[in-house]
Structure formats: structure tokens, C-alpha cells
Amino acid sequence: MLDRHNHVLQLIGVIVLALLILPLGIVVVTSFGTEPTISFPIKGFTLAWYANIWTQPAFVDGFQSSLTIALLASLLALLIGVPAVYALTRFDIPQKAWFQTLFLSPTLIPEIVIGFALYQTLVIAWRLPLWPSLLIGHLLLCLPYVIRLVTSSMLHLDPHIEEAAWTLGTSRPRAFFTIVLPNIRTSIVAAFMLCFINSFNNIPISLFLNGPSQNMLPTAILNYLQNNYDPTVSALSVVLMLFTAVLMLLMEKLLGVGALTTTETN
């Protein structure tokens, strides 16, 4: 019985993996094609499309803005989210549930609505420049990930370990950094990665807060695809995949083996 279960599971695993990998594999292959339009299978091999990425200012600028916004939004989300979670889980705050809902609410609203609403308020009504508006939009996108992941690991953390640190002569802020933070590190790293990837990939919010002076990579790719259907986009996708993979590996190396792949248990 168990054996059959295992086989079924394995089969499902293989199918899912195939569905994930196959399209990616095709993208990788098409990025080397010599045809002027994306086609599969390819007839010849060239690296020209990779070179072409760097000749497109929209891509280069877009990459830079997306990277900056994603990093800043993720960091800001952590700086706001982690203390907020700490307060919500450790102090008796009136209206606790209300705050919790507030912080998580961006996930409940379609992103396209958030983008539109922010455009209306920040850009049209308040006449805020695009860049800060974009940052705020991406911050809203990121905050729920931080709140959710960090809350669950804070709830798993025995509140007495912090108290033990205090009784041993450690002030509250110091105990936070030496005792709480190391124990919720995994969820912070995971939250950062999710924030970064989601912000970096986001289209709906960026779409509204984009402008000629402020281009984001995903929207730049969309724009490009509307006029061209050449393998530059495939090449760019491959570069992005590699970029993300390297980033993951770096985080994993910097923050300890297993930080991203294991779930927090203590």
C-alpha cells in the first residue's frame, strides 16, 4: 500500500518537475537560436541575442531600477515588518487583530487594484514623483510576506528564552539582537528572498507607476515583446534565471547552509 503510494507520489513529482523544467529548457534552447524570431527547435547556434541585451537601454536601465527598488523595498519591509511582528507577538497591544489584518491586507486586494489606487493617490492627488511611489507600492507588496513568515517563527519561539536573557543581565534591545534575531534568522532570510523575487518580477503595480523616466525590467520586457519577437527576451530570461540562482546561492552561503531549504522548527 505504502509502496503504491510512493509510486504515485513519484509520478506526480516527475510530472510537476517536467511541467516546470520543460518550458524553461525550451526558453534556454531558443535563446541560442539563429532565427530572427523565437522558434523551437533551433537551426543554428549564436550568442548574438545575449550581446543584444546590453544594447537595449530599456533592459539595462530597467534591470538597474528593478534591482534597486526590489532591494530597497525588501529591506524596508524587513525594517518595518520585523519590529511590527515583534511588537504584535510580544506586547499586549489593543486592536492586535486589526493591525494583523491591516498588515496582511495587501495580499487580499488584487495587485492591479493596488497599483491603480496608488497611482490615483500618490501620483495624481499628492503629485509624488514616480520613484518614491514605486518604492511605496513595492513595499506594500513585500510587507505581508515579512509579517506572515516572521510571525510564524516568532510564535514558535519560546518567549521565556528572551526573559531568561534579561534575567541574566541583558537589556531588552540587546536580548533582541543576541537571542531573538538569531532564532528567527531563517524566516527573515526567506522573507527577504520572497520579497525580492516578487518585487523584482512584479508587473501589475509597476505598470501603473512606470513612466518614461522610470522603467522597470518586467514592464520593459512586456514593451519589448509588443514590438519584437526575437530571442533577446529568451536570452534575458536565461540571464535572469542565472542571476536569481546565484543570488540564492549567495544568500545560502552567507547565511548558513539550509537557511532557505529547511523550515524553522525551534
Partner 1 sequence: MARLTLDSLAMTYGHGDPILHDLSLAVADGQLVSLLGPSGSGKTTTLRIIAGLLQQTSGTIKVDDEDISRVPVYKRGLSMVFQSYALFPHLTVFANVAYGLKRQKLSKADITAKVTAILQTTGLTDLAERYPQELSGGQQQRVALARALVVDPRLLLLDEPLSNLDAKLRVAMREEIRRLQLQLHTTTIFVTHDQEECFAISDKVAVLNQGKIEQYAAPEEIYHHPQTEFVARFIGFENFLPVNGTVADHAYRVGDQTVAVAGPTKPDAKVLTIRPNQIQLSPDDQGLSGQVTIRTYLGSAYRYTVDSPLGTLQIDGPTETPVAIGAPLHFTLPADQLLPLEA
> Which chain residues interact with partner 1 by CB under 8 A?
158, 160-161, 163-172, 178-179, 182-183, 266
Sign of torsion over alpha carbons 103, 108, 113, 115: positive
Residue 210's SS3 state is coil
Write the CB contacts of 240 (distance below 8 Å, at least 6 apart in sequence). none
Phi (first) and psi of residue 214, to 5 degrees: -135, 90
We find the least distance from the C-beta atom of residue 190 to partner 1, in angstroms, to be 16
Residue number with CB closer to partner 1 (130 or 157): 157
We find the least distance from the C-beta atom of residue 156 to partner 1, in angstroms, to be 10
Residue number with CB closer to partner 1 (44 or 169): 169
Residue number with CB closer to partner 1 (147 or 179): 179
Residue number with CB closer to partner 1 (183 or 237): 183
We find the least distance from the C-beta atom of residue 149 to partner 1, in angstroms, to be 18
We find the least distance from the C-beta atom of residue 254 to partner 1, in angstroms, to be 17
We find the least distance from the C-beta atom of residue 58 to partner 1, in angstroms, to be 45
We find the least distance from the C-beta atom of residue 162 to partner 1, in angstroms, to be 8
We find the least distance from the C-beta atom of residue 130 to partner 1, in angstroms, to be 42
Residue number with CB closer to partner 1 (55 or 167): 167
Determine the Cα–Cα distance for residues 115 and 211; give it in Å rounded to an integer: 13
End-to-end CA distance of the chain: 33
Q: How far is CA 90 from CA 126, 154, 162, 174, in A?
A: 36, 9, 10, 16
Query: Could you tell me which residues are beta bridge partners of residue 211?
Result: 214
Nearest to 59 by CA among 196, 195, 230: 230
Yes or no: say if 226 and 152 are a contact pair by the CB < 8 Å rule: no
Residue number with CB closer to partner 1 (165 or 233): 165
Residue number with CB closer to partner 1 (166 or 229): 166
Distance of CA 103 to the CA centre of its chain: 17
Nearest to 74 by CA among 2, 139, 14: 139
